[in-house]
Amino acid sequence: MRELGRTITGWLDAGHRVAVARVIELNGFGAVPAGEVLAVRDDGERAGSVLRGVLDVQVNAALPGVFAGGAVEVDGPVGEHDAVAAGLACSGQARLLVHPVDADRPAWEALAEGRAVALVSTLDGSRHVVVTAESAAEDEAVVTASRLLAAGTTGRALVADALIDAWVPVPTLVTVGGGTLAAALAAQAKLLGWESHDVSGVEEAVNAVKAFGPSDVLVLLDHDPAMDAVLLAGLAGGRGFLGALGSRHTQAERRQRLHAAGCTDDDLYRIHGPVGLDLGARSPAEVAVSIVAEVIANRSGRNPAPLRTTAGRISPH
């Protein structure tokens, strides 16, 4: 998204008109990344994509009206053959909002700078509100946008007649302690498209956690009591996922020390320790899967359970 933000702002600086297509609603298609955006310049140059281009024909047909100054909704079913040929898992139905970039320019500038930002747009294109972590609550849509940003992950919502996209930078996974599990977590992070690095020493670890954004992740592997300072820094910052490895006994001793340092029960609840879901993991690779699975579930607000035992939507998007 940073590159897309740079592209859009560069086009605007060069005097071009720019339109963007964003997802309003999806049904089907399998797992589709949240926050997809297609940007189109007035001379036809394109950047980004939505649904691997399966609705580009409809978007193209809408562009004249969009460049004339209005927002246009496009929708359509996509059959199994076309969806699979484009690289989607299955057929589906989608609604897109196509609108000119104007008052929403600060959102694309924020993305170009790598900052977390949300964009609230009415479906008729009459109102665009750019929301950051510092924004004051104006209405239900802005409050929802702020909540999405606070969750630390890119997401989308529809509130009444307002489309909300929240774009959050790629997570950074910080491990403290090294070893085979740190390496396995780094491999999982690479698979997920996250950044990762391992640090050692209390000062280095504290500085890393102090720089956390909402999407970042700490996994403390070192049981040294001196490392309590890392968790205290994370609690003080109030951002990101704080996880700590260790046995039940290790966790109990750590909690006692943190209580003595002034932490409340609510503070301690924010520390995921022992970190990871109960998957029966044994190898470092399996433990790493259990840890990133808990991070993903925590972000999406889900209570992990087999999909066959649940009845809600499979994808939160």
- The predicted structure's pLDDT at residue 10: 97
- Average pLDDT, stretch 35-62? 96
Query: How far does CA 156 lie from the centroid of its chain?
Result: 10
Domain spans of the chain, in order of start:
2-167, 172-300
Average predicted confidence (pLDDT) for the chain? 92
Confidence of residue 316 (pLDDT cuts 50, 70, 90): low
AA letter at 255: R
Confidence of residue 298 (pLDDT cuts 50, 70, 90): confident
What CATH class is the domain 172-300? alpha beta
pTM for the model: 0.67
Distance between CA 239 and CA 25 in Å, rounded? Answer: 29
Confidence of residue 24 (pLDDT cuts 50, 70, 90): very high
- The 10 Å CB-count burial string (b at 16+, else e) for 45-63 is eebbbbbbebbbebbeebb
Q: Is the pLDDT of residue 47 over 80?
A: yes
Smallest Cα–Cα separation from 154: which of 36, 243, 6?
Answer: 36
- Distances in Å between the Cα of 249 and the Cα atoms of 226, 246, 315 are 17, 8, 37
More confident residue, 307 or 22: 22
Smallest Cα–Cα separation from 121: which of 137, 147, 98?
Answer: 98
Confidence of residue 134 (pLDDT cuts 50, 70, 90): confident
- Number of residues that this document lists for the chain: 317
Of 18-22, 153-157, 172-176, the range with the lowest mean pLDDT is: 153-157
Smallest Cα–Cα separation from 41: which of 70, 17, 62, 59?
Answer: 17
- Average pLDDT, stretch 290-304? 88
Give residue-wise pLDDT tens across range 231-282: 999 999 988 899 999 999 999 999 999 999 999 999 999 999 999 999 999 9
Q: Give SS3 for 133.
A: coil
- The 10 Å CB-count burial string (b at 16+, else e) for 281-316 is beebeebbbbbbbbbeebbeeeeeeeeeeeeeeeee
